[in-house]
Structure 1
Amino acid sequence: MMSIQEATLHSQPQQGNSSSDPSTSAIPLVPSAAGRVSGKPWKQPKSATVRTLLPDGLKSKSWEDRMQKTQKEKAIKKLQAELSEEKRVEKERRRQITLDRKKAAEERLRLEEDKAKMGARKAARMRRKAGRTKKINH
C-alpha cells in the first residue's frame, strides 16, 4: 500500500503540468512566422533613434534647429554648384575663343598660300606669253 507522502509525490508532477498555476505557465511567443523571430538585427522591427543617447555633436536642441542646419547646408551646396557651373561656362567660353582664333589664323594662312600660289601661276602665264620657258631660263 502507498503511504500518503508517496501519493502526494506522484501527484505533484501532474499538478505542475496543469495550466492552473500562473507561475508555471508558458511564456507567450512573439507573433511571427511559425512562432520564431530572426536574431539578425537588421531584420528586427525598426524604432526611432533615442536622441538622448546620441553624443552632443550629433544632436541639437530641437527639430527646428536641425532643419535650419539642413537648410543652410542645402543653400551652401546650391551656391557651390552655381559657382562651379559659372567656372565651367567661363572655361568653355575661353576655350571656344581660343579655337575661333586658331581657325581664323589657319584661314588667313590658307588664303595667303592660295594668293601666293595664284601669284606664281600668273607669273608662269606671263613668262609663257613672253616666250620664256624653263629650258631657256635654266
Structure 2
Amino acid sequence: MFSSSSTTTMSEQPVVSLSSSSNGRVSGKSWKTQKTATVRSHLQPGLKTTKWDDRMEKEKKARAIKMLQAELKDEKEAEMKRRREVTKERKQAAEERRRLEEDKAKMGARKAARLRRKMGRTKKINQ
C-alpha cells in the first residue's frame, strides 16, 4: 500500500522544535503581546509638574476654604431659621390676640342678647 516515495517525502519535512521551559511546556498564549505600562495622555495638570509638598499645600488650602464656606453656610442657615422662628412667633401672637378679641366680642353679644331677653325683646320685635 505504501510506496517508498511517500515515506521519503514525510521525512524531508522540517521538524518543528518546541521552545524549552522549566517543565518542557510552553504557554499557549504566544499570540498575546507582552504587557506594558498604560500611557496616560490626560493627566491632571497638578499631577504632571508639581511636587508632592506643593500638592499637599494646595489641598490643605482647599480644605480650609471648604471648611470656611461650610461654616458660613451654617451661620447663614441658622440666621434664616432664627428669622423664621421670630416671624412665626409674631404671627402666632397676632392670631392669639385676634382670637381673644373675637371671643370678647362674642361674649359681649351674648350678654347683650341675655339682657334683651330679660327685657322681653326679641329679634322679631326689634326688627
The answer to whether TM tops 0.5 is yes
Contact 1:60 1:66 survives alignment (8 Å): no
Equivalent residue number for residue 81 of structure 2? 92
Q: Which has the higher contact order (CA 8 A, sep 6+)?
A: 2
1:65 aligns with one of 45, 51, 54:
54
State TM-score, norm by structure 1.
0.60
Equivalent residue number for residue 72 of structure 2? 83
Size of the aligned set, in residue pairs, is: 109
Distance 1:124 1:109, change over 3 A: same
> 1:93, CA displacement in angstroms?
1.2
Consecutive unaligned residues in structure 2, runs of 5 or more: 1-11, 21-25
State TM-score, norm by structure 2.
0.65
> 1:54, CA displacement in angstroms?
5.5
Identity %: 56
Equivalent residue number for residue 102 of structure 2? 113
C-alpha distance in structure 2 between counterparts of 1:102 and 1:136, whole Å: 43
Per-residue displacement from partner, 1:61-108 (whole Å, max 9, x unpaired)? 421111111111111111111111111111111111111111111111
Structure 2 letter corresponding to 1:71: K
Consecutive unaligned residues in structure 1, runs of 5 or more: 1-9, 21-27
RMSD: 3.7
* 2:122 aligned with 1:137: no
C-alpha distance in structure 2 between counterparts of 1:74 and 1:104, whole Å: 45
Structure 1 letter corresponding to 2:111: K
